[in-house]
Structure 1
Amino acid sequence: MKRSSKKQQTQESTGKVEEKYAKPLFKDLEENLTFLEETLGKSSDLVIRRFTLDKSKRCGVLYIDGMVDKDTVQHYVMDALLLEAPKTGLSFRHVYDTLKDSALPIGELTETSQFDDLLLKLLSGETIVLIDHEKKGLSASTKGWANRGVQENTSEGVIRGPKEAFTETLRFNTSMLRRKIKDPDLRMDAKRIGRMTKTDTVVVYIKDTADQSIVDEVHARLDKIDIDGVLESGYIEEYIEDPPYSPFPRVYYSERPDAIAAGLLEGRVAIITDGTPNVLLVPGLFVHFMQSSEDYYQRFDIGTVIRLLRLFALFVSLFMPALYIGVTTFHQEMIPAPLLISLAAQREGVPFPAFVEAVLMELAFEVLREAGVRLPRPVGSAVSIVGALVLGDAAVQAGLVSPAMVIVVAITAISSFVIPSYNMAISVRMLRFLLMLLAAVFGLYGIILGLIALVLHLTSLNSFGIPYLSPFAPLVVKDQKDVLVRFPHWGLFTRPQPLARNNQKRMSEPSKSKEETK
């Protein structure tokens, strides 16, 4: 009852705030300007320019300093009003229509008659033109705040492929996708999320390629978001992913325009959020997190080998410490005698069991990894590398850990870096500790038990109605061409079946005569 009453109070207060500004403009110019000035608390970045048109009609121009392109305001609004408009022979009665139809050379010019709409446009970087004795205003698109230009992607590095990355500006990001997919069926549906931030969000998909049910589900989940502010796409990710209580990510994100464009061509749906370079892509399946854009830029045989190596690194990162603990603690008979004698000699002076030893080393390495990420870039890499070397050598010299454990932890850490998706790598790092605990209690039986539970959990997951382990479970034979192995581009005739049900064919299959000729 308390939670429902609090929620009801929040909705009522939000409604009162919206009703406060949801009223029509006044007819008097000064009354409108005074109301806007008081509403914004006489902010120092609010610019109001009052002037008179043709010695008879009073006007006002408003904009937020720092959010508009001042050159555009000066040349296409102020010069047009003060220099060009009087030449058109303004009449007192039709000055508003004249300005709207022929005086303002702005590509995007809209009308507004409500204060809530006017405030939203003003705070979004548009310039407002108000005229005395008119209960309507004109909004000119003059957005031009400072932004970061297109730079090289540093979080998803590739040897071969585009180097550009998304930026924090929404229109930059949509234009990069338009440049890669020049198809009229590319749809971009705009939304605003957040009661106070009103963050611009765009849902991107290719009509008749993406499954319409997935598109509708994305819109429905976005419309349900009720929060005061959205500052990054991570806010939206937590609201729209299916069951929140799973360590595995179900929403893919990337800073690479080519990766998002490839997902759109497969039938996925992208969500672009203003103010962040990370673009969301749904549905996010398990195999998607294990693939990299470079797989499609290298030759198919090289891409296949890299994928298999990546899958091997995933199993090493997940199971190697647990296997070491289980074998050395419970199943010494599985180790060859010379190796067993060497391991026993190394562990002779170690005071901790293998599980405690592994946990201490793993935690120390995780701390060093996080320190390397948070520190300034020139210092971070040096601290993480030197710290790991010094710490590992000092721990062995002090007799706290065995040299074999240092090797196991080092190989495990290096293998985790092979996983291309950062959030999938974090999930593997968390599950590693659980498997280590099962190995310390039950040995190899505990690892098998953990593996069975892991597979059962993965098969129970869905991402926007699509099975998480697709196309493995359920098995889709024709989609195996682009999972563990990658067929040549001329062999990938169809899109993934669960995603693009309406438009399956990517290309026409080569005829038998052409194949025989080759």
Structure 2
Amino acid sequence: MSLFKKQRKNSINLSSFKQDDKNKETNKDLLKTSLEGNIQHVKQQLGNSEDIVIREIQIGKEGIFKACIFYTDGLVDTSSIQNFIMESLMLDINPDQEQMISYQQNVLQVLKGRILAVGDIQDVTEFSSLFTSLLSGDVILLLDGYAQGFTIGMRGGKDRGVMESTTETVVRGPKEGFTENLRTNTALIRRKIKTPRLWLESKKIGNLTQTDVAIMYIDGIVNDKVVEEVHNRLDRIDIDGILESGYIEELIQDETHTPFPTMYYSERPDVIAAELLEGKVAILVDGTPIVLVVPALFVSFVQSAEDYYQRADIATLIRLLRFFTIIIALLGPSLYIAITTYHQEMLPTRLLISLSAQREGVPFPAFIEALMMEVAFEILREASLRMPKAIGQAISIVGTLVIGTAAVEAGIVSPAMVIVVAITAISSFVLPSFTISMSIRMLRFPMMALAASFGLFGIIVGVIALVLHLCSLRSYGVPYMSPFAPFIGEDMKDTLIRVPRWGMFARPRLISQKNNKREHTSAPKPPRDKV
């Protein structure tokens, strides 16, 4: 026999062995006809865990079939199991129905179609699907003599109810926020948008956690390419577990090496509903109240939900204030360092004399002085977040006052530097998004280093590099700085300013490319009836 034939024969034998192993593995995963064998396999795979309830029952008063119910204690509504499954199978079946069931060839379909008074029933034939449903809070029903069963949706248990959002508070507007329950969150969004075009698609991500992830968007408004890209990125995730939406964000974001977030998130249903109406895609993760939104724009992190509930002039004033506080939070200490170190001629004479007198006994240059105060304030901020709520706020206030006063009296820092750092810190709290505030806090330190090295010229170079970096970012194909760069005049109605509601008749052009116009095609002005 030639060498080629030997190799071909060996490869055929090897492939047949692999196919046999695959068939054995597939057969191993399939349910058995023996109910006792299925019960033993479930107990073995779950390690006889005490929270897995296995209840063997007899169907009908005469016990015509032997069955078993599996569920996870704490994840299901036990009263519903008692009322709609066990009573229906054990007590509510009359003798005529028992005789009908016994003569039927497909008993499972009779139980599914006529006996079980529940809504969500799915067939299950594999142990992998059985374990996923069982550990997700579903009820499993298996019958003796059948290699098929049912998964019955009766998820319940204890969870946190709908409460007010703790991170995005508003004076005027809805107070409800998302919870850790995925179905509750999707219901909150559907309560806002009552249209059949609001579509929902689900996935399970995480080899061990099997976390439910939902994708919501409005068909006819959303860009189909964005939806396809979201699916592709989620399908490429190969990880053991997903415990929070931050896992998803880090795995599917556009840019990793950037301090700016390229995915927007919120825990307010009204905010997510507004984003969906603009043509964006929402990603909901079971177990967290934080909902991700793509594509994300820079202006989205400066906007607040309350901007759209106040009058246009008030919202515009507050929004301009936020953009001004971004400049203060980013460049406040840097400008002070640059001017007092290199450009004293820019200050009025009396102010320069006052600052010089304050810094007369300070042994450190302005950069080291600002660096110490910024680091001390960041430590106090993080400590106040980690401490118990009863003492966290008091400790942060007392610590700030005591440290600031003691540092000035000891001559370590000047009073002017304490004022600059305090105003900078307060300005960072004005931004409605915590993630963009974190980005500004991170960038503050390199800007301080540039100011200490090159003065105002270093700050200008840093700002130019920062703007170029922002303009280079994209979020799912959409420019991050849109509508500033590229400049879109029509979309500027909801950026630095907010025009009245009757003037915002178009969606963002680069996000919703299929249906850019809202329901009304023109911009009708409010009626002015004469009295």
TM-score band (shorter)? Answer: over 0.9
Give 1:510 deviation, angstroms: 4.8
Query: Which residue type is aligned with residue 423 of structure 2?
Result: I
RMSD of Structure 2 on Structure 1 (CA): 1.9
| Residue 405 in structure 1 maps to residue 417 in structure 2 | yes
**8 Å CA contact retained: 2:199, 2:216:** yes
Give 1:89 deviation, angstroms: 2.4
| Residue 495 in structure 1 maps to residue 507 in structure 2 | yes
Structure 2 counterpart of 1:482: 494
Give 1:55 deviation, angstroms: 3.2
CA distance, structure 1, for counterparts of residue 524 and residue 289 of structure 2: 46
| Residue 47 in structure 1 maps to residue 53 in structure 2 | yes
3-state SS of 2:412 partner: coil
Give 1:295 deviation, angstroms: 0.4
**8 Å CA contact retained: 2:33, 2:147:** yes
CA distance, structure 2, for counterparts of residue 434 and residue 218 of structure 1: 34
From 90, 98, 115, the counterpart of 1:89: 98
**8 Å CA contact retained: 2:502, 2:526:** no
Structure 1 counterpart of 2:364: 352
CA distance, structure 2, for counterparts of residue 404 and residue 515 of structure 1: 53
Matches within 5 A, 1:320-339: 320-339=332-351
Structure 1 counterpart of 2:73: 65
Give 1:117 deviation, angstroms: 1.0
Structure 1 counterpart of 2:14: none
Structure 2 counterpart of 1:23: 29
**Structure 1: stretches of 5+ with no match in the other structure:** 1-14
Matches within 5 A, 1:384-463: 384-463=396-475
> Percent of pairs identical after alignment?
53
CA distance, structure 2, for counterparts of residue 70 and residue 56 of structure 1: 25
Structure 2 counterpart of 1:34: 40
Query: Which residue type is aligned with residue 176 of structure 1?
Result: L
CA distance, structure 1, for counterparts of residue 125 and residue 274 of structure 2: 42
3-state SS of 1:495 partner: coil
Structure 2 counterpart of 1:79: 87
Give 1:481 deviation, angstroms: 0.6
CA distance, structure 2, for counterparts of residue 96 and residue 485 of structure 1: 62
Query: Which residue type is aligned with residue 394 of structure 1?
Result: A
CA distance, structure 2, for counterparts of residue 409 and residue 389 of structure 1: 13
Q: Would the alpha carbon gap of residues 231 and 21 (structure 1) be closer, same or farther in structure 2, given more than 3 Å must change?
A: farther
Give 1:23 deviation, angstroms: 2.0
After superposition, the C-alpha distances for 1:111-157 in whole angstroms (9 at most, x for unaligned) are 11111111111111111111111111112111112100001111111
Q: Would the alpha carbon gap of residues 89 and 512 (structure 1) be closer, same or farther in structure 2, given more than 3 Å must change?
A: closer
CA distance, structure 1, for counterparts of residue 462 and residue 145 of structure 2: 75
After superposition, the C-alpha distances for 1:364-416 in whole angstroms (9 at most, x for unaligned) are 00111111111122211111111111110000000000000000000000000
After superposition, the C-alpha distances for 1:455-483 in whole angstroms (9 at most, x for unaligned) are 11001100000000000000001001110
Query: Which residue type is aligned with residue 89 of structure 2?
Result: L
From 481, 485, 490, the counterpart of 1:473: 485
3-state SS of 1:499 partner: coil
CA distance, structure 2, for counterparts of residue 511 and residue 100 of structure 1: 54
From 233, 237, 262, the counterpart of 1:225: 237
Give 1:52 deviation, angstroms: 2.4
Structure 2 counterpart of 1:116: 128
Query: Which residue type is aligned with residue 89 of structure 1?
Result: E
CA distance, structure 2, for counterparts of residue 151 and residue 512 of structure 1: 37
Query: Which residue type is aligned with residue 150 of structure 1?
Result: V
From 268, 284, 294, the counterpart of 1:256: 268
3-state SS of 1:191 partner: strand
Matches within 5 A, 1:207-222: 207-222=219-234
After superposition, the C-alpha distances for 1:420-473 in whole angstroms (9 at most, x for unaligned) are 110100000010000000000000000001001001100110000000000000
3-state SS of 1:85 partner: coil
**8 Å CA contact retained: 2:68, 2:143:** yes
Q: Would the alpha carbon gap of residues 369 and 241 (structure 1) be closer, same or farther in structure 2, given more than 3 Å must change?
A: same
Structure 2 counterpart of 1:180: 192
Query: Which residue type is aligned with residue 173 of structure 2?
Result: G
CA distance, structure 1, for counterparts of residue 341 and residue 127 of structure 2: 72
**8 Å CA contact retained: 1:48, 1:61:** yes
**8 Å CA contact retained: 1:185, 1:207:** yes
Query: Which residue type is aligned with residue 433 of structure 1?
Result: F
**8 Å CA contact retained: 1:85, 1:99:** no
Q: Would the alpha carbon gap of residues 104 and 166 (structure 1) be closer, same or farther in structure 2, given more than 3 Å must change?
A: same
Question: Greater Rg, structure 1 or structure 2?
Answer: 2
CA distance, structure 2, for counterparts of residue 300 and residue 68 of structure 1: 47
CA distance, structure 2, for counterparts of residue 481 and residue 513 of structure 1: 16
CA distance, structure 2, for counterparts of residue 56 and residue 183 of structure 1: 47
CA distance, structure 1, for counterparts of residue 309 and residue 55 of structure 2: 55
Give 1:19 deviation, angstroms: 4.9
Query: Which residue type is aligned with residue 270 of structure 1?
Result: A
CA distance, structure 2, for counterparts of residue 137 and residue 495 of structure 1: 48
Query: Which residue type is aligned with residue 378 of structure 1?
Result: A
Q: Would the alpha carbon gap of residues 430 and 211 (structure 1) be closer, same or farther in structure 2, given more than 3 Å must change?
A: same
3-state SS of 2:140 partner: strand
Q: Would the alpha carbon gap of residues 280 and 324 (structure 1) be closer, same or farther in structure 2, given more than 3 Å must change?
A: same
Q: Would the alpha carbon gap of residues 28 and 383 (structure 1) be closer, same or farther in structure 2, given more than 3 Å must change?
A: same
Structure 2 counterpart of 1:8: none
Query: Which residue type is aligned with residue 50 of structure 1?
Result: E
**Structure 2: stretches of 5+ with no match in the other structure:** 1-20
CA distance, structure 2, for counterparts of residue 332 and residue 514 of structure 1: 54
**8 Å CA contact retained: 2:505, 2:522:** no
Structure 2 counterpart of 1:362: 374
After superposition, the C-alpha distances for 1:184-233 in whole angstroms (9 at most, x for unaligned) are 10011111110000100100100010111111111111111110000000
**8 Å CA contact retained: 2:84, 2:117:** yes
The total of aligned residue pairs comes to: 504
From 290, 306, 310, the counterpart of 1:298: 310
CA distance, structure 1, for counterparts of residue 448 and residue 27 of structure 2: 58
From 326, 332, 340, the counterpart of 1:314: 326
Q: Would the alpha carbon gap of residues 395 and 114 (structure 1) be closer, same or farther in structure 2, given more than 3 Å must change?
A: same
Query: Which residue type is aligned with residue 220 of structure 2?
Result: D
Give 1:512 deviation, angstroms: 8.3
| Residue 137 in structure 1 maps to residue 149 in structure 2 | yes
**8 Å CA contact retained: 2:320, 2:497:** yes
**8 Å CA contact retained: 2:506, 2:518:** yes
Structure 1 counterpart of 2:286: 274
Give 1:100 deviation, angstroms: 1.7
**8 Å CA contact retained: 1:326, 1:444:** yes
Q: Would the alpha carbon gap of residues 510 and 86 (structure 1) be closer, same or farther in structure 2, given more than 3 Å must change?
A: same
After superposition, the C-alpha distances for 1:79-104 in whole angstroms (9 at most, x for unaligned) are 01100134422443533332122111
TM-score, normalisation: structure 2: 0.92
Q: Would the alpha carbon gap of residues 146 and 516 (structure 1) be closer, same or farther in structure 2, given more than 3 Å must change?
A: closer
Structure 2 counterpart of 1:283: 295
3-state SS of 1:226 partner: coil
Give 1:509 deviation, angstroms: 4.7
CA distance, structure 2, for counterparts of residue 359 and residue 314 of structure 1: 19
CA distance, structure 2, for counterparts of residue 310 and residue 176 of structure 1: 29
